[in-house]
Every structure is written in structure tokens, then in C-alpha cells.
Amino acid sequence: MNTHSKTVYYQEAFPILMAVDCVIFGFDRQELKLLLFKRKIEPFKNEWSVIGSFVSPTEGVKESAIRVLEEYTGLSNIFMDSLNCYGEIDRDPGARVVSQAFFALIRLGEEEAQMVETHQANWFGLNSIPPLILDHNQMVKDSLEKLRRKTRYQPIGFELLPEKFTIPQLQSLYEAIYQRQLDRRNFRKKILSMNILEKLSEKDKSTSKKGAYLYRFDSKRYEEMVKRGIDFVL
Amino acid sequence: MNTHSKTVYYQEAFPILMAVDCVIFGFDRQELKLLLFKRKIEPFKNEWSVIGSFVSPTEGVKESAIRVLEEYTGLSNIFMDSLNCYGEIDRDPGARVVSQAFFALIRLGEEEAQMVETHQANWFGLNSIPPLILDHNQMVKDSLEKLRRKTRYQPIGFELLPEKFTIPQLQSLYEAIYQRQLDRRNFRKKILSMNILEKLSEKDKSTSKKGAYLYRFDSKRYEEMVKRGIDFVL
DNA sequence: CCAAAAGTGTTATCGCTACACCCATGA
DNA sequence: TCATGGGTGTAGCGATAACACTTTTGG
């Protein structure tokens, strides 16, 4: 691509603004949360919004989303999937803006807390999401649906856990995603039958006196499974 | 939206070109085909491409895709789903163009033949797809994958059949999508168990001496099913 | 010793798969 | 009458769902 060809081709095309918006889910060992921030520019300055940015000339659309995520959380190498294109003509009264939305999953810990703070961002529980600007409430709704659907054919939720985790923790995660209770025995049976977990000899005693065994992913088997797109219906 | 606000907000944003590309599948009672056309503009003039267009200021992104589909086939009210955003910085040497791809399913008949012809478009079997411009081969690959995945949780393929159809026809469609043979008895059993088909008393004798009963969708039940997102694994 | 969470097995049911034979009819 | 595609039933298997009691240990 060079400047010359840009001016030669596509004369009839109409330039528009391209944005990315990231619906970021975080899991704090209990609850699934959503990262929102107070928008810094007009229109709708200081109203709640999912995090986003315009796509700059020097980056691809997906890179733009990755950059935004890193700016706000300091995290990179995060699972992120594209969600949908929001391209209604009047969706943004500020200009003709087409937004490509993404959703990402992160594990809440210390790392991101500082950066989230300095950006005036905040985590919200799924049941207390405030009104958002533009079509962002729709984006969130769509993300949740996609997240739930996607966990059915990819064991996606694992991204949200620490390296070592217990089976009850993993179960809480799925319960948070699906918003319903699961049977302990069946859950354990199913997850173990996939042979993607490696049992450690340590226990985590933070949530019970007896303590629960810690597990770790067998990432090799995990990769294989993702590739084969195995069903994973709970 | 008004011209004034456009100039006031988002000064820092960089305008880019937005395109839509439609991966259009057609079914001719036998085989699944793909609609391609010879591109009319430089660069890559006269090379094969999926059908597409730039998004104009007067239309939303999805409307743009619907318009393009209608321009090339004369068909409207077609099932169409968004596929993916292709936003690599150098994907199009002609300019910085972000493309939102869609995929659509149509039933091949007389209606669209004329328009397809006048646009120098052509139907290609899935096994004889020529090299395409830019990342269009990737789009096609992604569409097929999405089509196959999506038929698992929505009985999507029905869009490709005439109003009245036989069970063997429906089976051929699924065989074309999955590119493998299915068991007659099991297919019939499964599809009938969903209670979304209404058996008619007419027979279609075009493919056998005995004739096969025609069926029609019970669209009410069908809608319910789509809403509930029932599993539909063959 | 007891409260609170972790861990474990069995049974009944359902859905999937695999498989072979009769039916209707036009040529 | 026969070739061709349409139509049907069953048995075995594996996965799922429902369900209750024992274990561990810190307080």
C-alpha cells in the first residue's frame, strides 16, 4: 500500500470512522463482571461505556482492540474474539461511526487493578450494569449470548482462572457464565473425563477446612481439544 | 446526526473505507454452490471475487450487504448473517479498507439466473473455487466453517429449500453442507422428532417412480425452536 | 464435636448409531 | 417384472441426569 495508489483507486468510496469496542468480562473467583468506563470525549462525556477507541491508520482492527485492552488493563495475550459489527447509520450522533465489537475474558487479580483505576474504569456485576451509551447495552447482551454459546463448543472459560485452580472454582465459573446451578458430581465427572486437567498434590484451603485439590491444565491436550472443537455441553 | 456535529466531534479519528463482502451460497437440489463475480474495478479488475461493495453514507452496514445481494440476485428477504470483520492494515493494496463479511443462503431457481448473468457472476461448486482476490478465499473458508457450526444450533439450512420439499431433498442439503453421507433412517427420525415439519398429501415424483412425500415447515414451531436455540447435531 | 465444604457411585433414561428389508411405480 | 429410490424398526451402547452419604479439619 502506498499513498499514490490510495489516491488512484476507490475514488467513489465514502470514508467513515471505524471504532473498536471491547466487552471485557472478568472473573473474581465468585462472580462474572464487566469492565466499563466513563467516556472521556463528547458526546456523552462521563457516561458509562464499554472500553473502545477509534482504529488508527497504523493498526489493524483486531490489533486496535488488543491495544485498547492493554491500555486499560495492562494485560496482553488475552483471549479475545470478535463479536459483531455495529453499523447502523445513526448509531452514533457524533458522526458516522462503524464499530467492530470484541469480547475478552480476563481473570481479576492485582495486575490490572491499578490501570483500571487510573482510567476511571470500574467492574460491574452482571446484575448491576448501568445504562450505557449508544448501542453498548446491546453489545453486552450479544457478548453474553456469544460467550454462553461459545463455551458449548470450546472450553473457553478456562482463560478466566488462575494457573492452579480447584474443581469447585471451575464449577463456580461455569455457574457464573450460565447463571444456574450445576450438579457437583456430574460436573466433576464430565470435566475429568476430558483428560485436560492435571491433578496436583497441593490443596487450596482458602474456602474450606478440608481443602480442595488444585488442578492445572494439560495445555497440550487442551489445544488438541480446541482444535477438534469438541462438544462441551453442561 | 447532522453535519455540524460531524465536524465538531471526533476530530482525532482517521477516516477509512468500509466495504461489505457477501459470501453467497446457493443450493440447486444437489450441490452447494458459491456465487462469485469478476471484479469491475482496479486493482484486480476482472479477477474473481465474492460480491461486495463499499458502504455508502446513506446506508447501514447490514443494509449495504442486503442491497448488494439484491443487486446481484434480485432476491430480498434472504437469510443473511454477519461473518467477520477483515481489518488487516494491508489487506487491500488499493487503500485502507475494512471489510465486514456476511454470508447468505439462497435457493437456486429461475429468478436469480438473469441477474447473475448480467453481472458476469457465476456459480461455482465448492470443489472448484478459483483463486480469489485479497483475503476472499479466507472469507469463503470462514463462511463454510460458520455455516457448518451454525447448522448445529439452528436449523438454518431450511432457507435453501423450496416451500414444499421432500425429506430426501432436505437430507441432500445437509449432506452438501457437511460434505458427508448421512443415514436415511436416522436423518428422518431426527428431523421428524423436532415437530417442525408438516406432511402434505402430495408427492414429488421428479426423482423416483414411487415418489416422495412433500413437507412444509410449521413456521410457528420453527420460530420457537430457533428462539430456544435447540441443538441440531447431525 | 460440629459445621461447612469436598469428594465419591449407582441407576434409569434418553438419544445416537448401525444396520436390512419391504414398498410403490414407471418403463 | 424389474430397477430405482422411498420408506420403516430395532437392538446395543454410551452419555446424561438425578440423587445421598462419607470425609476432612479448623474452630
- The mean per-residue pLDDT over the stretch A41-63 comes to 93
Residue A142 lies in a domain: yes
Q: Is B10 within 8 Å of A95 when comparing Cβ atoms?
A: yes
Length of chain A: 234
Summarised one tens digit per residue, pLDDT across range A113-144 is 888 888 888 999 998 999 999 999 999 999 99
Question: A111 and A85: one domain?
Answer: yes
The CATH number of the domain holding residue B196 is 1.10.10.10
How far is it, in rounded angstroms, from Cα A229 to Cα A217? 17
CA A167 – CA A169 distance, rounded (Å): 5
The predicted model scores a pTM of: 0.87
Do residue A134 and residue A161 come from a single domain?
no
Look at residue B146 and tell me if it is in a domain. Answer: yes
Q: Is A1 on the interface with B (CB under 8 A)?
A: yes
Q: SS3 sequence, B156-202?
A: HHHHHCCCCEEHHHHHHHHHHHHCCCCCHHHHHHHHHHCCCEEEEEE
Q: In the structure grid, which three cell numbers stand for residue A232, read together? A: 462441551
Is B234 contained in some domain? no
Question: Does residue B52 form part of some domain?
Answer: yes
Residue with cell 449508544: A134
Statement to judge: residues B118 and B49 lie in one domain: yes
Phi-psi sector, B63: left (phi>0), alpha (psi -120 to 50), beta: alpha
pLDDT, tens only, A65-76? 999 999 999 888
Nearest-angstrom CA–CA distance, B103 and B65:
9
Q: Which of B150, B184, B216 is the last residue before a domain boundary? A: B150
**Low-confidence spans in chain B with pLDDT less than 70:** 1-8, 226, 228-234
B-chain residues within 8 Å CB-CB of A90? 1
What's the pLDDT at A113?
83
User: Which nucleotide is closest to B208, CA to C1'?
Assistant: D5
Least confident window among A143-152, A153-162, B127-136: A153-162
For residue B229, the model assigns a pLDDT of 62
Taking only residues 124 to 163 of chain B, the set having a beta carbon closer than 8 angstroms to any beta carbon of chain A reads 149, 152-153
**Any domain includes A233:** no
Distance CA A131, CA A12 (A): 38
Do B161 and B183 lie in one domain? The reply is: yes
Pair (A141, A160) in one structural domain: no
Domain shared by A87 and A137, yes or no: yes
Q: Which residue of A has its CA nearest to B53?
A: A13
Give residue B143's Cα distance to chain centre.
8
pLDDT at residue number B195: 86
- pLDDT tens readout for residues A78-104: 889 999 999 999 999 888 999 999 999
CB atoms within 10 A of CB A58: 10
A-chain residue closest to B89, CA distance: A60
Residues B142, B176: one domain? Answer: no
**Final residue in a domain of this structure, among A119, A150, A181:** A150
Grid coordinates representing B209? 417412480
pLDDT at A234 over 80: no
CATH number of the domain within which A21 lies:
3.90.79.10
Burial pattern A150-189, b for ≥16 Cβ within 10 A else e, equals: bbbbbbbbbbbbeeebbbbbbbbbbbbbbeeeeeeeebee
Q: β-pairing, A97-107 with A15-27?
A: parallel
Tell which residue, B84, B75, B81, B136, has the closest CA to residue B111: B75
Same domain, B10 and B111: yes
List protein-proximal bases of chain C (any atom < 7 A from a CB): 3-10, 16-20, 23-26
CB proximity A167–strand C (7 Å threshold):
yes
Within a domain: B188: yes
* Distance separating alpha carbons of residues A149 and B234, to the nearest angstrom: 18
Same domain, A181 and A139: no
DSSP states of chain A: --HHHHHHS-TT--EEEEEEEEEEEEE-SS-EEEEEEE--SSSSTTSEEEEEEEPPTTS-HHHHHHHHHHHHH---S--EEEEEEE--TTS-TTS-EEEEEEEEEEE-SSTTHHHHHHTTEEEEEGGGPPP-STTHHHHHHHHHHHHHHHHHHS-GGGGGS-SSEEHHHHHHHHHHHHTS---HHHHHHHHHHTT-EEEEEEEE-SS-SS-EEEEEE-HHHHHHHHHHT-----
Is pLDDT of A177 > 60? Answer: yes
Asked if pLDDT for residue A2 goes beyond 50, the answer is: no
The C-alpha cell that represents A170 in the structure block: 471451575
pLDDT value, residue B161:
87
Chain centre to alpha carbon of residue A15: 29
User: Final residue of a domain: which of A150, A185, A213?
Assistant: A150
pLDDT confidence of residue B8: 66
Range of the domain at A15: 3-150
DSSP A131-153: P-STTHHHHHHHHHHHHHHHHHH
Instruction: Assess if residue A44 is contained within a domain.
Output: yes
Instruction: Indicate if A62 and A141 belong to the same structural domain.
Output: yes
Q: Which residues in chain B are contacts of A57 at CB distance < 8 A?
A: 14, 16, 96
CA of A184 to C1' of C7 (A): 9
Count the domains in chain A: 2
In a domain, A215, yes or no: yes
Nearest Cα neighbor of A103 from A23, A36, A37, A177 is A23
Are A103 and A81 in contact by the 8 Å Cβ rule? The answer is: yes
B60 and B128, same domain (yes or no) = yes
**Together in a domain, A32 and A131:** yes
